[in-house]
A = this chain, B = another copy of it.
Amino acid sequence: MKTLGRHVIAELFGCDAAAIDDVPGVHEAMLQSASAIGATVVASAFHRYAPEGVSGTLLIAESHLSIHTWPEHGYVAVDIFTCGGLDPRPGLNLLAHAFGATDSRMQEIVRGLPEHVAEGMPWLPTDVTILGPRSAC
């Protein structure tokens, strides 16, 4: 399988504190995010911290989605790594909406063997800032 992959690193700000502190809700949003990008989930792990905060990962046939939440700051750190030509951006958009993010920041890294990476171009410029969840992608 070609190694070319896209890894989008996103920060979501102004998120709903209760929504991002709820493991079942975060898990469900992550599953919907995976579905939105056409990924196949193969394994998962989630954990809730005391006194607050959730971490979770979905392993997908095309790499992974991971999330870490800081309810006390309304902050969510997400990364979505996709191989096989999947576009991770609809998944990020879904999470931004699900958590009511008011702002976001994203960076994209093209990953893989050098000969494969040379064929890939990031969709996003480095260090892009996009205001508002509706324009998150």
List residues of chain A with CB under 8 Å of any chain B CB.
1, 3, 5, 7, 9, 11, 13, 42-47, 49, 53, 55-57, 59, 61, 63-64, 66, 68, 70, 72-73, 75, 77, 79, 81, 83, 107, 109, 111-113, 126
Contacts and interface: CB of A to CB of B under 8 A. Distances in A.
A124 B27 CA distance: 33
Given A111-B11, A112-B75, A59 B81 contact: no
Given A112-B11, A113-B13, A68 B77 contact: no
The number of times this chain is found in the oligomer is: 2
B77 A5 contact: yes
A83 B69 CA distance: 12
Nearest to A42: B47
A42 B46 CA distance: 9
A68 B66 CA distance: 14
